[in-house]
Structure 1
């Protein structure tokens, strides 16, 4: 199985496969996980326990341990970089996009996506030389 160097890059891939295409199953739901623990309102829980603007431990553990096979990785042809991704809610239910919590810090994981052809919102990547690196791999940006 693939090992990702950058957790936040992996989240972009998870968004595509789990929440956009529905091919990586079962989909993780922090609401369902918390409800199963008797916590009906994740937002209140997060604020009451000073967990706002962090990746919840339960979410981080799930996504870090999540294995994505080579066949699924090879199916990824487009990634979206956007502050409103579902996977970000699943990690941090009250995150507002105003900090660097989910900034991709490395593009080393591009090698795991042999058929990636486009990155939408690539200008939001905070990796030095990101646009040039994508272009050098023949990946279009928009």
Structure 2
């Protein structure tokens, strides 16, 4: 197994993990209910906030470098499974999962398309486009 991908932006990592874990089935799926039962903690399923234990799980999760080539597109959407496993009642109306740093694109040579949560950072979109990545706001 290769070295894990060293992410600089936690939310960029979450977007990649969504693709690998829930869309391509290349990583074991995380289920908050099962994880909470196994780890012996409870959480407020009606909260809009992130469950700290879920965030910690994904922060610690190592993404093997050999999976980087599998990423051709990233689609951020408020209904993505990863976000609902971290913050079960999240409505997408805040910046909880916004990406602010895009240096991590360097790890994904086949990344051609990104749909991002709106942050208003037009410079980021232009920088992504300059790298040959079709980038747009959700």
- TM-score above 0.5, yes or no: yes
CA contact (8 A) 1:53 1:101 kept: no
Query: Offset at 1:67?
Result: 0.7
- Alpha-carbon distance between aligned partners in 2 of 1:71 and 1:86, rounded to the nearest angstrom: 23
Q: Which residue of 1 aligns with 2:124?
A: 130
CA contact (8 A) 1:74 1:113 kept: yes
Counterpart among 11, 29, 33 of residue 8 in structure 1: 11
CA contact (8 A) 1:106 1:127 kept: no
TM-score by length of 1: 0.83
Query: Offset at 1:125?
Result: 4.2
Counterpart among 115, 118, 121 of residue 113 in structure 2: 118
Q: Which residue of 2 aligns with 1:72?
A: 67
Runs of 5+ consecutive residues of structure 1 not aligned to the other structure: none
Q: What is the root-mean-square deviation of aligned Cα atoms in Å?
A: 1.8
TM-score by length of 2: 0.85
Q: How many residues align?
A: 131
In the TM superposition, structure 1's runs of 4+ consecutive aligned residues that sit over 4 Å from their partners are none
